[in-house]
Amino acid sequence: TLLLVLHKGVEYLGYMSVDFNLAKVNEKLFLDFEGTEVIHCGINETEVAPKEVFAKRRIQIPGKYQKVGENTVRIAFRNRYAVDGNGLHHFMDPEDKEEYLYSNFEPFAANKMLPCFDQPNLKGTLLLFTITPAHWVVIGNELEKSTIAVGEAAKRLEELRIPAAFISKELADAKYNFKEFATVPAISTYLFACIAGPYGFFTSPRKPEEGYPPMKIYMRKSLQKYVEPFANEFFRITECGISFYSDIFGYKYPFSKLDQIYCPEYNIGAMENVGAVTYSERYVFKDPPTEGILLRFAETILHELSHMWFGDLVTMKWWNDLWLNESFATFISNLCLAKGSGLERYEAVWTAFHKYKGWAYREDQQPTTHPITAKIENTEDADNLFDGITYMKGSSVLKQLYYLVSHEAFCDGVKEYFQVYQWKNTELRDFIGVLQKALKKHGSSIDLDKWVQEWLCTKGLNELQPKFEVKDGVIAEFKVLQSEAPNADKVCRMHMMDIALYDKDFNLTTVERVLVESKPETTIEKIKGMEAPVAVLLNVNDYSYSKVRLDIDSMHAFQKNLSKIKDNLTRMMIWRSYWDMVRDGLTSAEEFLKLVTAQLHFENEESIVSGALGYSLSAATFYVPKEQREAEEMVLYKTLETRLKMEKMPNIKKLLVSYLINFAVTVDQKKLLIKWLNEGMGDYSLSLDQRYAILQKIYADANFPLEEKQKLLAKELEKDKSDNGLRAQRACEAAIPAVENKEKHWKILLDEDTKESEHTLFAIMSGFNSRHQEELLKPYAEKYYCALPAVFEKRSRRYAEAFFNHVKPLDEDEETLKRFEEISKTISEDQKTFKKVVMEEIEDIKRVLKARALYKESIKTVSYTHLTLPTNREV
């Protein structure tokens, strides 16, 4: 039983009654609670002094107060609202001064709001009561049962054995309400939710008899006008997902309602709280979204919805099996977009999926990579597990498993999984067991234990490349070579994939369901005797998780004929292969940027254009030596400027403008940006984010008078009085190129007692460390290195990582590498997050230095002579 008295302001009161059974007395038993104060504590029938039991984020339950069987701990507590997005977060809307609250707990933050056994394998029911201002709505995991005035709640509190002191005369006079909610079924603590404030909402017109739960979308009132145009699509995507999942899982939506809430200053994309999914306000579209952005939003909706089954109905026993939640949700949401009825609009789903696999490829080649089923010893380990390996590698591996076992066997296994394990906690072996049973039913002899060992229990990825012999114009022998990528375990894996062969006219032949065995060389018999191709692409259709190498002949052919390939996913994969070669030091950034300038104007798929531009930005910013950087940026600027003049597609035009802002270097280019702000761009309207990006770029440039900058910003803020505008203002102010200004903002970033929200501090970071201010920021390099230990020790993990990544010295050179290597030696093994980011930074700098050296070498020679790849074909 939980009662929350949610005041306006900085703190709240609570009363928690925890009932649990003990098989035996346990002297080490405790509740997790990172709160401000325990006011009262009772264990079974004994009143206990709070100071006896509450210390160091724990409420001890001494053995002398325990008993075998049923136990009850009653706690009255006081706590401060969070400003870092974990626990019960408080936000005041600067437009209407209304206050909003929301909870966010995964993986280990429920204890920041309430005392509890905060671990996923201890599921429990929850009876929630709240006392709030009368005009607030309250959203929990279950439906609201009743609302009465606080003054009428005394009898109900007495029935619950909650002290009457929680109902003060002040609350009654202030017109507070007492709400009671239906009992939440047995779920893990990280899935509990409480959202409160004067939220506006839209209600789905669907009726229960149509097969859908009651559904609402909530948002701050000041954002309601922006959400309204997309509310119907939000509901429609949700409905399509419920229909698809109910069918493919063989289990109807398992909870009584589905509320979906936009939350301010939200740390992540979304969170699958039972019946109350919370979303970042990045999905509130103040400007028309592109199709790619809508696709990402649809995937997020379906990802969180799938968790109602996979994660909430059935939950992993411990965080080492987090992939059972996140990998599955990522894969199945994309499968839903690809196969679900009514979702045909999102046909670019697998192209976008491949683009986001880059997150996994990068992290899986770091020295900090880990198996999908990772060893988790504590909550810091669990926090670090929400990464590209768990999400994108895990989902990619599930896509491979799905193709390996067939759609029918996969679905049969999943259906039994929910029937057998509903409302329980599971481990990897439980999921694999039902899938193996389904395979046997379908007559398959595939050994999933071997597959699990190869794919889930080892780290890193494989590099695959073709090698074939041609005689008399036909393929005499075709092999797939398999090796390990950097930092991977020395293991070859079984890959089920398709292979594309292109003839001289670039007509395509696809060889489907090719099994690459778990060894360094696999001969592919079904390709023998086929006409010799001019280009080969392994893993076309992207069913396997691997790094595909292009042989030199295929690389030449694709560079000349990329626009002839009609399939968007295939072109996305080729772009990815080129970029991997740049990152791995096999071809130079110069050659890649030539490819961009030659081929970008042929691309019209948003994910591909976005991917190619993102690669270009990374290449120019990091992989090009400082001496040549501005020249490369100028070429890219001219390339985008030329295309923008001819571009008709709004989504592509938006991408081009965003990257033109990024690549604007000269004073004249920045003056053009100011002209865009003041006079517009004809048939294109700058988005709010683009306008603020221009302002921040101008603010960082000493060539423009401060008075001019302030007038430009004031003009924008007059139109936008939201929290976005205030954060943009703070970023601009931090960007001002003046010694005293940098020192002022440095102190703000290091103030451990700050009352600023972390999101405001992130905005300051983005302005403080502005590119092209290297000389001004030089004094802060040593200060930064010295500050890191304290930041990682005393600040939240999210803040520490942001500080590390966004305030670090802008020059990635030998000296920077040396400093990070020295720091690495001083970090203790128990400082896991700190150790992880430093090791990854060292790896990234080594790649950067290798790439810059290759660039310098490449501009001395003719194209491709610096390539180190073998031809891999014999004629």
3-state percent breakdown (helix, strand, coil) of the chain, nearest 5: 50, 20, 30
462-503 pLDDT, tens digit per residue, is 999 999 999 999 999 999 999 999 999 999 999 999 999 999
Q: Rounded distance, CA 818 to CA 357, Å?
A: 31
| pLDDT score for 173 | 80
Mean pLDDT of the chain: 94
Say which residue the tokens 């703070």 belong to.
Answer: 730
Backbone angles phi, psi at 419, to 5 degrees: -65, -40
Of 171-175, 414-418, 451-455, give the lowest mean pLDDT range. 171-175
Mean pLDDT score, 568-597: 96
**pLDDT tens figures, 638-654:** 999 999 999 999 999 99
Q: In the predicted model, is pLDDT for residue 866 greater than 60? A: no
Range of lowest pLDDT (139-148, 158-167, 552-561, 788-797) = 158-167
pLDDT at residue 862 greater than cutoff 60: no
Structure tokens that stand for 634 in this block? 């100028």
Residue whose structure tokens are 């395509």? 508
pLDDT value, residue 868: 41
Q: Is the pLDDT of residue 172 over 80?
A: no
| CB within 8 Å of 210: residues ≥ 6 apart | none
Angle between helices 779-794 and 814-826 (to 10 degrees): 30
Query: What are the angstrom distances between the C-alpha of 658 and each of 329, 508, 805?
Result: 31, 35, 22
The answer on pLDDT for 875 being more than 60 is: no
What's 392's DSSP letter? I
Q: How far from 616 is each of 602, 612, 639, 652, 863, CA to CA, in Å? A: 16, 6, 12, 16, 18
* Higher-pLDDT residue of 526, 859: 526
Per DSSP, 621 falls in state I
Q: What is the reported pLDDT for 386? A: 85
> Beta strand pairing status for 128-133 and 2-5?
parallel
> Phi/psi of residue 73, each to 5°?
-115, 130
Cis check: omega of the bond before 254, within 30 degrees of 0: no
State the Cα angle at 86 between 423 and 325, rounded to 5°. Answer: 35
Query: What CA–CA distances, in Å, run from 847 to 303, 574, 852?
Result: 34, 21, 9
CA–CA distance, 456 with 708 (Å, rounded to integer): 57
Q: Across the strands, what pairs with 80?
A: 11
Q: What is the mean pLDDT of residues 376-389?
A: 81
Secondary element (H or E) of residue 106: none
pLDDT on residue 2: 97
* Confidence at 861, pLDDT banded by 50, 70, 90: low
Q: Residue 328 has what pLDDT?
A: 94
Specify whether the CB–CB gap between 189 and 118 falls below 8 A.
yes
User: Hunting for tokens 């960082």 — which residue is that?
Assistant: 700
d(CA 461, CA 463): 7
Q: Is the pLDDT of residue 379 over 80?
A: no
pLDDT of residue 377: 78
User: Which is more confident, 862 or 755?
Assistant: 755
**Weakest mean pLDDT among 22-26, 167-171, 470-474, 555-559:** 167-171
pTM for this prediction? 0.95
Return the pLDDT at 165: 81
How wide is the angle at C-alpha 541 spanned by C-alphas 540 and 547, nearest 5°? 55
- Check whether 170 has a pLDDT greater than 90: no
CA distances for 725 relative to 343, 692, 741, angstroms: 34, 8, 20
Write out pLDDT tens, residues 173-200: 888 999 999 999 999 999 999 999 999 9
State yes or no: pLDDT of 365 exceeds 80.
Answer: yes
pLDDT, tens digit, 9 for 90 and up, residues 85-119: 999 999 999 999 999 999 999 999 999 999 999 99
pLDDT value, residue 319? 86
- State the alpha helices, DSSP H only, in 40-94: 50-53
- 515-528 per-position pLDDT tens digit: 999 999 999 999 99
Lowest-pLDDT range of 157-166, 539-548, 772-781, 806-815: 157-166
Tokens for 240? 């399509």
Taking residue 470's Cβ as centre, other Cβ atoms within 10 Å add up to 16
| pLDDT over 70, % of the chain | 98
Write phi, then psi, for 42 (nearest 5 degrees): -130, 130
| Alpha-helical runs (H) found in 808-831 | 814-826
- Secondary structure of residue 307 in the 3-state scheme: helix
